[in-house]
Structure 1
Amino acid sequence: MADPKTPWLRNYPSDVPYSIDATNVYENLSDFIDGVCAQNAKRTAFVSFGASLTFEKFKYKVDCLAAYFQQKLHVKKGDKLGVILPNLIQYPIVVFAGIKCGMQIVNINPLYTSHEMLGILRDAKIKVVVAFENCNQSLLKVLDQTYLSYYISCSLGDCFPYFKGMAINFAVRYIKRLVPSYDSSSLLFFNDCIKEGAAYLESFEKVEMKFDDIAFLQYTGGTTGKPKGAMLSHGNIISNVVQADAMYGPRLNKGNETILTALPLYHIFAMTINLMFAMYVGCTNILILDPRRFPSLIATLKKHPDISIITGVNTLFNAFVHYEVFKKVSLPKLRIVIGGGTAVQHGVADQFLKASGIPIHEGYGLTECSPLCCVVPYTQTEFTGTIGVPTPSTLARIVDTSTGEEIWDPNKPGELEFKGPQVMKGYYDNEVETRNVFDGEWLRTGDIAEWSENYHIRIIDRIKDMIIVSGFNVFPSEIENVMSHNPKILECAVVGMPSNTTGESIKLYVVRRDWTLTKDEVLAYCRQYLTGYKVPKHIEFVETLPKSAVGKVMRRYLKQNRLK
């Protein structure tokens, strides 16, 4: 029975457990990869650009690279491995090879500037880096300012048969000129490392790793300030995988699912759900290098009608609707769609359900929680506008931001906090920020939330994004949700601007679906659904909104008028 401090448990489907014990599953992620590859040996694990690997062949490459790391580069347990790769098969090979050596994985966005990469490389004291060759030119400029001992370069053609791989690399480098020129004299190369590592397989010494040992330093902006490395243990990730399996597993046919991975794997949402969880349940993983190239994405969907799981963010789902994907592609096995990374807007969810017949099951998490904390139960047949209920063994509470008192009454906002086996150990080498993010044993999220009448959790907005107009609190997401129902609007975003009369005023940025839309029409629509002080004072039409690699609209750029 649910107790008064866990009222959401009454909403669990009957086949979802209240708690999990991941210590009985795998001791560490090295055992994890050995186990899932043995269980699914002959099944296709990854598909990318027409190249594919079975779980068995995937594990062989992982073992070869791990042997190379250990025996040739002499890495030790606790050394930091920087991974600067997009969604290519090389990404999971590199990550699990490092894990087998006891290294701590540091994901870095390959779209970062050299300055942004340098900040993480130095902060984490990274010893070995594996990077996509598109990054080589900019990264080599700052190489002498890092702690790097070895730099391994990956190319697009690495996982193809030799001659096809050579042809692909030649076309990318010299015909399409997509790779900036670089000096290769100081670099090692991925395929060479795999080939040489095969000779060291018998010499590889298994590294003892415990459940609580750190596996990832996952860098995040957190709630404030410069990026910080969230220390995520083997146990944090395994626990979160088991929690996801408890919530989604009853809906799945394990060993017979295919997942579309359009979100970047270096982002915590895709890394845990699309990589770790997908491997745990034996999925074939369709890797998408650039989901912004939508005609190419549609062509991929046509080649893989067996896709049964899609994960995405609001912008991706909106694009599915805008490009009328479900009129062009048949996905008869699609059974679950998971939204995360950023809030899914009501209008987008409604249109997606109408087009596909499948509801978006929104989840919620943050880097510091590996990331999954809450899930809409798999039994839900329509979009709820909530983030659902805490995952098994996760405790949640909402606290008054002024008094710190817990709030259990529905529809009363406060800050959302979590406690559970997926919560990080703290920020790497940053005791001050670690103390700031914890409220005793509880992790502060920086999000304002409220309980619904049936004790699902409803996110209102980020604390830092709240706008105060003449003393009234206004949350951008509320206005954005209203506008998402307007058929003439493709996308929108709301920010607060300084005002001499009201303290702050509301500015609405709009990307038009219908170019006949006028500002007067937008205002009339707002006044129909919003009280006076929530109606935007300023409206600006733009061609695009600034987004992160995972598709989040970056409101801070809008405040700075950085639209590109």
Structure 2
Amino acid sequence: MNSLLSDAHLTASETLDFTPYTSVLDVFDRACQRFPQQPAFTCLGHTLTYQALEAYSRAFAAYLQFETDLDPGDRIAIQLPNCLQYPIVVFGALRAGLVVVNTNPLYTEREMQHQFDDSGAKALVVLANMAHLVQKILPATNIKHIIITEIADLHPWWQGYALNAAVKYLKKQVPAYHLPQAVRLKHALAVGKRHQVHPLTFQLDQLAVLQYTGGTTGVAKGAMLTHANLVANMLQARAVITQILEEGQETVIAPLPMYHIYTFTVNCMVLVDLGNHSVLIPNPRDIPAFIRTLKKIRFSGFVGLNTLFVALLNQASFREVDFSALKLTISGGMALTHATAEEWQALTGCAIAEGYGMTETAPIVTFNPPNAIQTGSIGRPVPATEVKIIDSTGHKIPKGVPGELCVRGPQVMQGYWNRPQETQAILDQEHWLHTGDIAILQEDGFLRIVDRKKDMINVSGFNVYPNEIEDVVTEHPDIIEAAAIGVLDAKSGEAIKIFVVARNPHLNVEDVRTYCREHLTAYKVPKFVEFRNELPKSVVGKILRRQLRDEERSKRAQ
């Protein structure tokens, strides 16, 4: 299946057949035609079939075409959590020829304004919970059209009224706002139904989505993903996932946000193409409510990441969930620790298949074959993908030696929106994407991520990778999660500091360091240990080492 070269360069030799598809919308329409009565998405107890999803998306597209002055190619920001409205709005916007700008609903005013300005968005679909922030930043943006929705707007009226009222009046999660020019999504859909959508012709090389990087490594940048990038990655992931999942037969839990490229590709592309059923979790941070939902559903797939698995496994009630149908668990977004993988498999009977990707690769680059999982590995390249490992001079290096991972394939972005210099810094002339991740290519063609290049710690000239430290520390039975960073040290240049969330309140610093001395070579043993109740995380649950480093610098500067 794969051709292995003498140096650390691997090519997944399968080709992709784009013939059936001309766009992301084509993927969606074909699924709706093939699986009209199958459940597509469920949220808060209400389900939409593929037929209903298509009808709503056409109504929204017609509204955009006939009731606004938006033209094909204009950008529309979508600021929604996991809810039924999200796929409707996304596919409706694409049907109208607009470019989707996925926007985090938890953004601050500053972050919202940056993304809206940078993308040049002319329209915005936003949950009412964030409308007060829109009101504040609107004069500083080019947004002309605002469409507002509440979380349960697509539920039956009585159920929707109750849920929306609970969110607004009991939980008080909808601050007052004044946007008289805004239109309600329910109204837009009702008006759109009166029109017939004007069909558009799409090309695979057209821009489909501006997917912004998380901003944890600097100012958020918009990765330009074409229809070809997204369809290619759908086909690549499909080739692996269909080893386990069948068409029109599966129910998959989706707790990670669909505005994130990881879940967008898996749930809005791959699972839609397969005619499968996604159960959307609007707030996975509410672990008790999340588990109550899981108890009601017989699910066969689960999409998550390490911190979410840890949070669930730490709840006694999670052991009451029925895992008898679970046959595929996918992990991405951050390193999966051995301790988490082992505990998940022991409880659920399903091994976690870890993959690797980036916003800039739409996102999947590698994935563990579900029938040949190697814990601790990110798997093999997906079809039609090349990877190579290079040293600091740009030369390929032998297998088994750590170096920077570079990727080339049809899923690699076209570049960053309006940022030619940043594009040149990450994409070379041969369209190799330099990931900034340190990896090792094994003899068997599997890859292991050692760590982020920028996160590497240099202790007396020795390279120390935080992932390794964290993996060892979380094997301790009294530790839930950990994060390792480098701090300035007069003697060794940098020293290792580990932040620990413990389940045992009696665990102390020396206990942690003693455990590390037993399992790590001397220069890898943390010099500093700090206990915390929780670690800073991104919206998808990725531990933010950079924030911890910034906090340390601030403390030492005082």
Normalised-by-shorter TM-score class: over 0.9
Q: 1:44 aligns with which of 6, 17, 39?
A: 39
Runs (5+) with no aligned partner, structure 2? none
Partner of residue 282, structure 1: 275
1:534 and 2:524 are equivalent in the alignment: yes
Task: Verify the 8 A CA contact 1:361 1:380 in the aligned structure 2.
Answer: no
**Aligned AA (1:188):** V
**Aligned AA (1:267):** H
TM-score, structure 2 length as denominator?
Answer: 0.96
Task: Verify the 8 A CA contact 2:146 2:182 in the aligned structure 1.
Answer: yes
Task: Verify the 8 A CA contact 1:152 1:188 in the aligned structure 2.
Answer: yes
1:98 and 2:87 are equivalent in the alignment: no
| Offset at residue 326 of structure 1 (A) | 5.2
| Offset at residue 325 of structure 1 (A) | 5.3
Q: 2:309 aligns with which of 317, 320, 324?
A: 317
Q: Distance in 1 between matches of 2:424 and 2:239?
A: 31
**Aligned AA (2:529):** I
Task: Verify the 8 A CA contact 1:223 1:446 in the aligned structure 2.
Answer: no
Q: 2:439 aligns with which of 433, 449, 452?
A: 449
Q: Distance in 2 between matches of 1:2 and 1:532?
A: 39
Partner of residue 340, structure 1: 332
Q: Distance in 2 between matches of 1:223 and 1:351?
A: 29
Q: 1:365 aligns with which of 352, 357, 376?
A: 357
- The 5 Å alignment of 1:134-149 reads 134-149=129-144
Partner of residue 262, structure 2: 269
Task: Verify the 8 A CA contact 2:8 2:396 in the aligned structure 1.
Answer: no
Task: Verify the 8 A CA contact 2:147 2:182 in the aligned structure 1.
Answer: yes
1:461 and 2:451 are equivalent in the alignment: yes
Q: Distance in 2 between matches of 1:170 and 1:153?
A: 16
Partner of residue 419, structure 1: 408
**Aligned AA (2:260):** H
Task: Verify the 8 A CA contact 1:6 1:395 in the aligned structure 2.
Answer: no
| Offset at residue 369 of structure 1 (A) | 0.3
Q: 1:8 to 1:431 in 2, by over 3 A?
A: closer
Partner of residue 439, structure 1: 428
Partner of residue 177, structure 1: 172
Q: Distance in 2 between matches of 1:223 and 1:549?
A: 11
Q: 2:68 aligns with which of 64, 69, 73?
A: 73
Q: 1:222 to 1:446 in 2, by over 3 A?
A: farther
**Percentage of identical aligned residues:** 39
Q: Distance in 1 between matches of 2:542 and 2:136?
A: 29
Q: 1:2 to 1:557 in 2, by over 3 A?
A: closer
C-alpha root-mean-square deviation of aligned residues, in Å?
A: 1.8
SS in 2 for 1:343: coil
Q: Distance in 2 between matches of 1:7 and 1:321?
A: 40
- The 5 Å alignment of 1:17-416 reads 18-200=13-195, 202=196, 204-221=197-214, 224-305=217-298, 307-324=299-316, 327-380=319-372, 383-401=374-392, 403-410=393-400, 412-416=401-405
Q: Distance in 2 between matches of 1:520 and 1:3?
A: 48
Q: 1:480 to 1:458 in 2, by over 3 A?
A: same
Q: Distance in 2 between matches of 1:241 and 1:371?
A: 10
Task: Verify the 8 A CA contact 1:320 1:352 in the aligned structure 2.
Answer: no
SS in 1 for 2:18: helix
1:517-547 deviations in whole A, cap 9, x for unaligned? 1111101000001111111111111000000
Q: 2:418 aligns with which of 411, 415, 429?
A: 429
| Offset at residue 191 of structure 1 (A) | 0.3
Partner of residue 3, structure 2: 3
1:89-125 deviations in whole A, cap 9, x for unaligned? 1011111111001111001111010110000000000
Partner of residue 548, structure 1: 538
Q: Distance in 2 between matches of 1:2 and 1:109?
A: 38
**Aligned AA (1:285):** S
Of structures 1 and 2, the one scoring higher in RCO (CA 8 A, sep 6+) is: 2
TM-score, structure 1 length as denominator?
Answer: 0.95
Q: Distance in 1 between matches of 2:170 and 2:390?
A: 58
Q: 1:59 to 1:428 in 2, by over 3 A?
A: same
Q: Distance in 2 between matches of 1:148 and 1:36?
A: 32
| Offset at residue 250 of structure 1 (A) | 2.0
Q: Distance in 1 between matches of 2:4 and 2:44?
A: 51
Runs (5+) with no aligned partner, structure 1? none
1:490-529 deviations in whole A, cap 9, x for unaligned? 1110111111221111111000111111111101000001
Q: 1:544 to 1:349 in 2, by over 3 A?
A: same
1:169-222 deviations in whole A, cap 9, x for unaligned? 22221232111111141211110000000011x2x2111110110100001157
Task: Verify the 8 A CA contact 1:20 1:243 in the aligned structure 2.
Answer: no
SS in 2 for 1:432: helix
SS in 1 for 2:308: helix
Q: Distance in 1 between matches of 2:376 and 2:416?
A: 31
Q: 1:496 aligns with which of 486, 489, 492?
A: 486
Q: Distance in 2 between matches of 1:434 and 1:210?
A: 23
1:138-188 deviations in whole A, cap 9, x for unaligned? 111010100011011110121112233223222221232111111141211
**Aligned AA (2:428):** D
Q: Distance in 2 between matches of 1:370 and 1:458?
A: 20
Q: 2:471 aligns with which of 477, 481, 489?
A: 481
Task: Verify the 8 A CA contact 1:326 1:356 in the aligned structure 2.
Answer: no
